[in-house]
Amino acid sequence: MTIPAYGVRVRPPRASGLAARLRPFAVVALVVTVMGVPLWLIVSTAAKSQAEALSPDLSLPSRWLLWENLAQVWTQGDIPAAFLGSVLIVVPAVALVLTFGSMAAWILARRAGRLTAVLYALAISGIVLPPAVVTIVLLLRQLGLAGTLTGMIGVYVGIYLSTVVFFVTGFVRTVPLSIEEAARMDGAGPVRVFVSVILPMLRPVLATATILICLYVWNDVFYAFFVIGGRMDTLPLNLFQVANAGLYLNNWHLIFAYIILMSLPLLVVFAVAQRKIISGITGGAVK
């Protein structure tokens, strides 16, 4: 990565006296009000009884029912099925988008000429242009893929290929051509060169792309609603339908318990790998 990770260099912009001493207090106050209040609202409401959570506030629950509420959502809210749906979509989508994206990016970075330039522009156009959600439904119906896992994965791969091609092409251009040529001298064909020379070098940029795309796909509800809504479940889709259905109306404790369960996997991954994730996200952005 081009950006040094945290803690590599401590650069103190020595602010003078009073302001510097007040700063830690400002930081604490800001974290407590801006982040603490909403996060506390989630936890405290998720731990209340239905009557207490009817109008959610910041008060302490009179009795902590967090575990009971989580268990109730887990069994009644179809979480295991939705979780499975989310995993079955995220994993293949990310694997395919990274594989196909890097293959294309390698060629687009290495070949010169007008055709390559046009193809590259087409390939990255999806970074800014919004996907046509309504007609995707029609197309999937014509292909017999409406409401299927394959259709959903295809749609996500189509949407996020541009991001991968963009990041990886930029990265491949910084990899010296001589490394490839050395392998070629030893008689390696393009597949060998790609798999054993290029792919290993792409690890940092692929890590960044993995994080971003997991984040988008895991939390997406809009595209999922159009493509698989009503046929399959993912965690956000399930939350959306359940919260919309009126089933959970006045059941804020269950909605918030659901939110905790749904956010937990990403938060755990983040807690374990935060340093890598932070340098990964920022690495691609600022050249």
Partner 1 sequence: MTDTSARRTHPMWFLGPAFAILFVFFFLPTLFNFIYAFTDWSSFKSEIRPVGLDNFTDLLSDGTLFAALRITVVYAVLVALFQNLFGFGLAVLLERDTWLNRVARLFFLIPVLMSALAVGYVFQALLKPNGSLNGLLGGLLGHPVSIAWLGDTTWTLVVVSVIHAWKWMGLSMLIYLAGLKTVPEDITEAARMDGASPWQAFWSIRFPLLAPAVTFNVATALLGSMNGFDIVQATTGGGPARSTEILNIFIYRTFGQGLFAQATTMSLVLFLLVGLLAFPVIRTLRKREEIL
Q: 32: which DSSP letter?
A: I
Residues 6+ apart with CB under 8 A from 271: none
Q: Which listed residue (171, 202, 256, 257) binds partner 1 by CB under 8 A?
A: 256
> Does 242 participate in binding partner 1 (rule CB under 8 A)?
no
Q: Which listed residue (110, 147, 204, 276) binds partner 1 by CB under 8 A?
A: 110
Stretch that binds partner 1, among 61-69, 77-85, 110-118, 199-207 (CB under 8 A): 110-118
> Does 24 participate in binding partner 1 (rule CB under 8 A)?
yes
Minimum Å gap between C-beta 93 and partner 1 is 11
Stretch that binds partner 1, among 61-69, 77-85, 155-163, 201-209 (CB under 8 A): 155-163
Q: Rounded to whole angstroms, how far apart are CA atoms 55 and 283?
A: 43
Q: How many CA atoms lie within 13 A of 88 on its CB side?
A: 15
> Does 46 participate in binding partner 1 (rule CB under 8 A)?
no
Q: Tell how far CA 257 is from the center of its chain.
A: 21
Report which of 17, 134, 79 is spatially closest to residue 255, judged by C-alpha positions: 79
> Does 178 participate in binding partner 1 (rule CB under 8 A)?
no
Q: Would you say 149 and 114 are in contact if contact means Cβ atoms under 8 Å apart?
A: no
Stretch that binds partner 1, among 35-43, 61-69, 76-84, 199-207 (CB under 8 A): 35-43
> Does 121 participate in binding partner 1 (rule CB under 8 A)?
no
Place of tokens 């405290």: 44
Stretch that binds partner 1, among 56-64, 68-76, 77-85, 199-207 (CB under 8 A): 56-64
Report which of 175, 139, 178 is spatially closest to residue 158, judged by C-alpha positions: 139
